[in-house]
Amino acid sequence: MSGPDRNMTQRLIAAAFEARKLSYSPYSHYQVGAALLTADGRIVTGCNIENAAYTPTNCAERTAFFKAVSEGHRRFQAIAVAGSPAGDTLTQYACPCGVCRQVMAEFCDPDDFRIIVAGPEGAHRLMTLRELLPESFGPDNLS
């Protein structure tokens, strides 16, 4: 599979930027938005949600996954992520953290699922889950 087409890629990036505006990040001031594309073509968004006790903080990607799974979705095509220190524009690429990669591995095909990471000046990078999490431990290990 080649991943979402150019139009869908731009829609997902735009949705991730919108979700980023809702970031609750009073401690790090690092704002992240994510837009997850389900197998049936819906877009579920998420933002990072921080906490005064720090460890309960949830990343934008996991917010999107947990929202989607809790609404009945278990198969996914792609996720777009837009993260950067507070500000209207991105100054860097925010690749998903290790915990979020592991959550993706629970539900997503390593070669078909695409991770779109938005970057400065409208650019983006496209990766497979296998590239981000090679040799992963997953549901197959327990079947």
What are the residues binding ligand THU (CB under 6 A)?
A: 25, 28, 30, 32, 48, 50, 57, 59-61, 83, 94, 96-97, 100
Report residue 142 as tokens: 């327990």
61 a catalytic residue = yes
Of 37 and 115, which has the nearer Cβ to ligand THU?
A: 115
Q: Report which of 6, 65, 56 is spatially closest to residue 35, judged by C-alpha positions.
A: 65
Q: Report which of 107, 119, 120 is spatially closest to residue 129, judged by C-alpha positions.
A: 107
Of 36 and 143, which has the nearer Cβ to ligand THU?
A: 36
Output the smallest distance, CB 57 to ligand THU, in A. Answer: 5
* Integer Cα distance of 22 and 34 in angstroms: 11
* Integer Cα distance of 116 and 100 in angstroms: 14
Of 54 and 72, which has the nearer Cβ to ligand THU?
A: 54
Name the amino acid, one letter, at 57.
T
Query: Which ranges constitute the DSSP H helices of the chain?
Result: 6-20, 60-70, 98-107, 129-132
Output the smallest distance, CB 125 to ligand THU, in A. Answer: 13
Of 43 and 64, which has the nearer Cβ to ligand THU?
A: 64
Output the smallest distance, CB 9 to ligand THU, in A. Answer: 19
Catalytic residue among 61, 71, 121, 131: 61
Query: Which ranges constitute the DSSP H helices of 21-143?
Result: 60-70, 98-107, 129-132
Output the smallest distance, CB 142 to ligand THU, in A. Answer: 25
Catalytic positions are 61
